[in-house]
Structure 1
């Protein structure tokens, strides 16, 4: 089986593409509804762009999407929902009212119901959240899992250190991870996740720890040569700002956290699902430990980052093992993306076009309505000592020569040396002539002089695979640390 990367709404993907009883392990790290702005990639987002606010800032609104989801649950659409889930959500309407929190819980109930469906009878589910809504989420999980023969197994506390403390509060230094099983039987590889004993324990019981023939009980613990059994609180440090693992993604989780979950609750060759895969920590760990994986994310920024992370970590060959859905691969699918009516994804076409053409090296401008005609930027090495700027503008509708004249003015305002105009429609002759009138750019780092304004069609990108070929001054997305796959078989390491 290949690995699958889906670009789109995870509810739609789960319902359309993921089969019943097909997944061994699911981990999700959804938005927390804590009204905190984690957005560092997509900064400066306000009310003018609710699309990205919905996707990247964990605040929720009681909008048409929430009302539709509530109606599905309250009427038990197609018999999808348990009686307990229906009563819970309809009852919470009386307690919470139709607002942000209920919208969040409706969204999560829809998706948790689908995750339960796709899990194998022996499958496990880990939901990562913070204390803001964890008590409500546990009610949802109980209503979906426990009412259908599943078990609540653990409330795992992920403890970590951090900088700074609030003046009138205790320092917040933990997240919660709920662990459930779909049935009575489930995978749990204890020996794969044992922890090293403390030095004091090693000294006191060194003769037992070193004795591989057996164990020695003391108190409520049991000494094992492979290490101690982990507790339900995990002290795993977040990724340091200078760590090679850090990719610049605002909610990135450390690989060590996912390693423990994946090793404990899956085996080699098992299928692991992450329905909010973000920067791809789950899929990267699955690659490292020989698990098959399914990743879903609604933003192309995440999809592009995952592909780059996997290529940086495991080489270009890994991309050949991935089946990609929802990512435009021809004109028909590009046009479909450009014409999406969903307000959450109205900028996705622009992001896809810029990131694809630049091989995921551009910085995206996400400020809809105030982008000043700039959809993306790269800095490249020119003759000046300081980096020079190239700007991108993407159009999916009708285009005309006036668009190029406007772009010339934008170049002046932005102090840009080069501009790329990406268009879904074919450019007119007047547009090509106007672009030529902007003049040529020459540099010692470019073999031939080039037009200051270049027009690239989406057809060039998807059919001719035309890509930006210029020496950049920096990479927006930090390369993931190179990984070495280590297969341990019969006492031998195959590097």
Structure 2
């Protein structure tokens, strides 16, 4: 099978596109509310709670979707919910009330039930969360897995030192990773994740056999055995040898919840083999996907934000070259005018914003920066920077319009450019521009620097039809590309120096 990247709601994708017993290993790291304390969980308070955990609340609110999800569980939608799962959710409703936490649990339950369905009998499931709601999540996992022949294997505590430290309580420096299996037939490659053994504290003498291997004597039932030390030891269920990414980490992409590749490497090596299928239903910036690709696994990634899809595509291209995209099937991404219109005209404001992200990132080949500010965007949906030979990079302002457009929109863009001290403007539109719009844009003039082979319009109008049907893209070398090129040259020179020294 081709590797698959889905843009959309993972519940819908799981139900419509992923067959029963297809997946060998699933890891998910869904959004969770790391800032809420236990009083906030039980009280489900309003404005203060929202202010402290806006990202969490944006994802998990009690709304029509939560009501539909709760009804599906109670009515045992398509017979997919075990009786214990139904009983658990019904029991939690009067305890938690219909607030953000209960919405979170209902939402996660719906998805874990589908993940259980698509796992092979030998499959494993890892859920990454934090202590804020882990006690509830374990109840959900027990109800789904343990009631249907599966088992709880480990609660892994991932410890780290990065981030700030409080003086008002013990610093919160760990996440929880629950490890479950679908049946007793689970795969576990212990030899793939063993660590070097520390022999410095051993009291028994260390001996050497005829082949030079180190061992200790081990006496059981009166018989002497050799206990070889080169086999290594399995990591305990508390992991302190893998640190969270600090701001200067080389692999950091600027994604707020990015996990280190070493963490996913351990999980994937332990619970899958080459050629197995890995699923990440909340793939975010694509750490699971990149590691699966590195370890010669097949993979399926799902995310509901196009910004994440754009980051994943760019990350794979940077790590493996453009040819890696030839073996990836992209699903849910607009491929014609009708699907672009459907995305743009969604009733939900948050989903409609995804059209703007798709347009900006697609036209710039995932090189622009999305404006994610809440509320009014002040006429800026995306920003890109290019080198003009001056002391600082020049700015490009990008606007996206999905409704009716007019020449006044171009004049507004010119004002936004002036206020933000930008050099160029790009107007991306779902509808065809008017003649007056084109005339107003042309009147803004052209721009050229010594780094450009041809002059460009100061205001460019690009239609979604051109982006989709003509594959029109921004043809300006951006600062990000220059920096990456410089980094690669530096790495190459460093490698050459090492080779020269070794010679």
Same fold (TM over 0.5): yes
Give the 3 Å change call, closer, same or farther, for CA 440–340 of structure 1 in structure 2: same
Match of 1:86 in 2: 86
Cross-structure match for 1:378 = 384
Identify the residue that residue 442 of structure 1 maps to in structure 2: 448
1:302 to 1:205, Cα distance in 2 relative to 1, 3 A: farther
1:200 is paired with a residue whose SS is: coil
Q: CA deviation at 1:445?
A: 2.1
- Whether contact under 8 Å (1:211, 1:225) holds in the other structure is no
- How far apart, in 1, do the equivalents of 2:382 and 2:59 lie? 26
Corresponding residue number in structure 1 for 2:10: 10
2:479 to 473, 476, 480: 473
Bigger radius of gyration, 1 or 2? 2
Q: Residue 392 of structure 1 aligns with which residue?
A: 398
Query: What are structure 1's unaligned runs of at least 5 residues?
Result: 37-46, 484-495
Q: What is the distance in 1 between the residues matched to 2:110 and 2:350?
A: 18
Give 1:449 deviation, angstroms. 2.4
**Preserved CA contact (<8 Å) 1:128 1:175:** yes
Structure 1 residue runs of 4 or more that deviate by more than 4 Å after TM superposition: 53-59, 201-206, 208-219, 221-224, 475-479
Structure-2 residue corresponding to 1:274: 280
Q: Which has the higher helix share?
A: 2
Cα shift at 1:465 = 1.1
CA distance in 2, matches of 1:384, 1:228: 56
Asked whether 1:228 is paired with 2:228, we answer no
Partner of 1:175: 175
Decide which moves more: 136-145 or 221-230.
Answer: 221-230
Which runs of 5 or more structure 2 residues have no equivalent in the other structure?
37-46, 221-225, 492-503
User: Counterpart in 2 of 1:426?
Assistant: 432
Pick from 324, 338, 345: which aligns with 1:318? 324
Q: Provide the residue aligned with 1:133 in structure 2.
A: 133
Report the CA distance shift for 1:211/1:100 in structure 2 as closer, same or farther (over 3 A): farther
Q: Which residue is 2:310 aligned to?
A: 304
Length, aligned pairs only: 467
Specify the SS of the correspondent of 2:357. helix
Give how far 1:471 is off. Answer: 2.7
User: Which of these residues, 302, 319, 341, is aligned with residue 347 of structure 2?
Assistant: 341
Cα deviation, 1:266-294, whole Å, max 9, x if unaligned, reads 01100010001111111111111111000
| Contact in 2 for aligned 1:35/1:59 (Cα 8 Å) | no
> Structure 1 residues 291, 303: CA separation in 2 closer, same or farther (over 3 Å shift)?
same
Q: Residues of 1 paired with 2:475 and 2:4: CA distance?
A: 29
The reply on whether 1:350 has 2:350 as its aligned counterpart is no
CA contact (8 A) 1:31 1:58 kept: no
Matched, 1:123 2:123: yes
Partner of 1:185: 185
TM-score, structure 2 length as denominator?
0.87
Using the size of structure 1 for normalisation, the TM-score is 0.88
Once the two structures are TM-superposed, the CA of residue 201 in structure 1 deviates from its matched residue by 5.0
